[in-house]
Every structure is written in structure tokens, then in C-alpha cells.
Amino acid sequence: MGKKYFGTDGIRGKVGEHPITPEFMMKLGWAAGVVFSGEGRSTILIGKDTRISGYMFESALEAGLAAAGVDVMLLGPMTTPGIAYLTHTFHAQAGIVISASHNPFNDNGIKFFSKDGQKLPDEIELAIEAQLEKEMSVVDSSQLGKAYRLEDARGRYIEFCKSTISRSINLRGVNVVLDCANGATYHIAPSVFTELGANVTTIGTEPNGLNINLEVGSTSPAALQKEVLKQGADFGIAFDGDGDRVMMVDHNGEVVDGDELIYIIARGRHEVGEMKGGVVGTLMSNYGMELALKNLGIEFVRAKVGDRFVVAELSSKGWLVGGESSGHILCLDQASTGDGIVSVLQVLSVLVRSGMSLAELKKGMNKLPQSMINVRLPSPGDPSQNPEILEAVADATERLENKGRVLLRPSGTEPVVRVMVEGEDPNVVQSLCEELAEVVKAIVNKNVH
């Protein structure tokens, strides 16, 4: 049975448009409360990023949960991975995140974590959706849920982040610029890095409800690049609005993306004999990372795009490290979900231990030039198995001479097929991608007429 509301990463959309409305959120809170109610009193945590609609949805969810007889612990502004950690440490039945991650302020969404701090399994999401179809009811007044504010949520999470690296690691004398995207890390990340001894300069730490991810953060690194060069900093760190993604900028002002950060973490673990298993990337991970890991003798496999698929692949293999080019990185021995602060601390551990700069560390991986063209489809579908397209893909792959790859991937969110080519020569890569996109376009249009 398909899901009506839950996508690959919770429920997300434009504020004020169904289902991102106060009425729906109250019903969702009630439905989740019913599903998670066990014997005795149940407690569910609610945290949010800094977008203005978070206040409205926090109140609506709180009302719905109370109506179902569930107690609520309010965390206030908190990162997505911070909510996952606190859900687990407080032995709550679930955690709710009010966030639309790297999207602009006029979007919002809901993500749930289980009591183990992990994404919900499909059967629980389906159970919540089934409950949403029922008429809302209210428990007896004597059984109504109560709401509490956890005053030290920030301090608890800061201490957790610091605990994920060796106590011998300190950042004294290191000059770092932090870009907190005017999001959930704004009052957390500066304290983490200051307490570890770094000299910290910040941008994107003045949220006003409307400026989350606005020309700052991991999806807009230009502001960080400029500030790193201006300050003469050793490196810069950019988080997204809810703190589960991270990008870095080296002292030259060059962006170091998720693939490169994963490579640095894996290389650091490998060098000290702590690399357990291989690395899981996605279909979009740069081929250069695959080659660099292979040169170290580290196994690499690709999962479908989306962190839940990376987690599933890691879990099935018993591996620990993986992630996406976007900077959503998983170190499952340190955190149950992608955590921007925890992930970058793993990178800095390698940096401090090696005595190398970030620019030097990333040199072990040669990112291959990549070109991607979106070909619009008349309707959702997957033309990649068409015989003529398969032949064109095979021809393009042969012309790369085993020094690159070709990928056709239908989008999961819009009617387009992404045509991607990677290889050593940027001019060859660009021309092959354009040729292949034209073949796909011609065949798609021919099948319509």
C-alpha cells in the first residue's frame, strides 16, 4: 500500500497548503499520539528549526498529542540530529522534527524519529496515515497530556557532540568560520567549536524566522568562501537549516563537498586501523571518490539517492560510514542519523591527527568533472530502458574508455530524467552529456507523437 502523506523524508510542502496547515498538524499530532501510546504515560519530543511557521506547527502538534493523552517535551530550536539524540537519551516513544531542512522559510515539514533515534519504518508511517483517516477524539480530561519545556536541551546536545571525538583533540590556535544558515545550529555550533578551543568567526547566526538558508548555509557556500578568505581562516564550515548536512571550505576558498569529506573520514580511519567495512555512497556520488577509496583498498557500494537508502545499505552490511555529495554524512558508530556537527568533528580529528591542512587532505581524491542535464518528460516515467537509449548509453560509456561513467536517473519529485556523465576530460564529458540528452529528448518526444 502506498503512502498518502509521507515521502522519502517525512511530510513536506508549502506553508498554508495542505497538508502543511495547522489543522492537519493537530490531527497528525493526535494520530501519532494514538499510534505511539503504550502502557502507562507516553512522551514525545518536539523540536524545530528557526522558520517562523515552526511556532504555529509546534502548538498544533502539542494540542493533538495532548488530546491523545501523550505528554510533550518541547526542545525549542534544535537540529534534526539533536532531536534524534535526545529522543533516544530520554527514552521517549518518538521525536518530532518541524523543519524543511535546506528549503526556504515558506516551506516546512515534519519528520519523525523512533525511540532509538532512527527514521520510522514504513509500517509505523502507514499506521499513522491509517489513523489520520479516522475521526479525531479526545481522551478523558483526567488523561490529557501535559507539555514541558526542556531547558537544557542545547547544553546536553553540545556535550554529546564534543563526546564523539577523543578528549585529546583540541582546536587551539585554529581559526574557523562557521556558517549556520540562520538555522538550528545558530546557538549550538559556535559553542561546540569555541569550547574545543577554536577561534570562531560566525555568519548566518541571526535567524529572524524568514532568513533561514537565505544566501547562506551548505547550499549557498559563496558567503562562507568570501568570509574564509577575508579572515585568512584555516577553513570554514557550513551547515544547512536543520543541521544534518555539512560542507567545508579550505583556506584557499575552495568548497570541499560531501564526497570529499566522506573520503577524508574513511581515509583517516583506514590509516589508524579503525575502518570497519566499506563506504556506502549513492548513484550520484562522484566517481573520483570510488576510485580514491579503491586505491586505499576500501570497498565502495552505491545506494539509491536518499539517506534512508544509505542507512539501509550500511545496516545490511554492518558498515558505519556513508553519505551523499550534498553533505549528508553518516557515521553510525557516533550518531544514529546524519549529523553535520558530528560529521565535521570526525573530519577535524583526521586533520589534527595528521597535521595536514584541509586542502592537503582532500588531494588524495581527484574529483572527476561531472555534467548533468535534466530532460523533461511529458509524464512521469522511466525511459532509460528503451533499446535505443540503452545503445546510446553503451556507446557513451565505451567512449569514456573505462575512465568515467554514465547515469540516467528518473527524478523522484518531478517528471524529468537526469542525464549525468563523469570522466577525466571536462570537454568530452560535456559533449557526451549533451549528445545523450538529445537522444533521450528525441526518443521521448517520438513516443508521445
Question: What is the pairing mode between strands 71-77 and 147-149?
Answer: parallel
Residue 8 is classified by DSSP as: T
**CB neighbour list of residue 307: distance below 8 Å, 6 or more residues apart:** 9, 323, 324, 328, 330, 337, 338
Between CA 390 and CA 440 the distance in angstroms is: 10
Residues 6+ apart with CB under 8 A from 442: none
Distances (CA, A) of 279 to 306, 317, 329, 332, 376: 15, 10, 11, 12, 33
Report how far apart, in Å, the C-alpha atoms of 304 and of each of 312, 324, 356 are: 10, 10, 33
Q: Count Cα neighbours of 69 within 13 Å in the Cβ-side half-sphere.
A: 15
Selection from 233, 162, 150 nearest residue 191 by Cα: 162
What are the residue numbers of the active site? 101
The DSSP 8-state label assigned to residue 159 in this structure reads H
- Cβ atoms of 436 and 388 within 8 Å: the answer is no
The β-bridge partners of 179 are 203, 238
Alpha carbon 367 to its chain centroid, in Å, reads: 21
Burial 413-437 (b: 16+ CB within 10 A, else e): eeeebbbbbbbeeeebbbebbebbb
What is the rounded CA–CA span in Å between residue 111 and residue 63?
A: 18
C-alpha cell read off for 420: 549525468
Report how far apart, in Å, the C-alpha atoms of 240 and of each of 56, 66, 216, 327, 385 are.
22, 31, 8, 9, 36
Q: How far apart are CA 222 and CA 379, in angstroms?
A: 36
Q: Is 40 exposed, middle or buried (0-12, 13-18, 19+ CB in 10 A)?
A: exposed
C-alpha cell of residue 251: 583556506
Residue 284 CA to residue 272 CA, distance in Å, equals 29
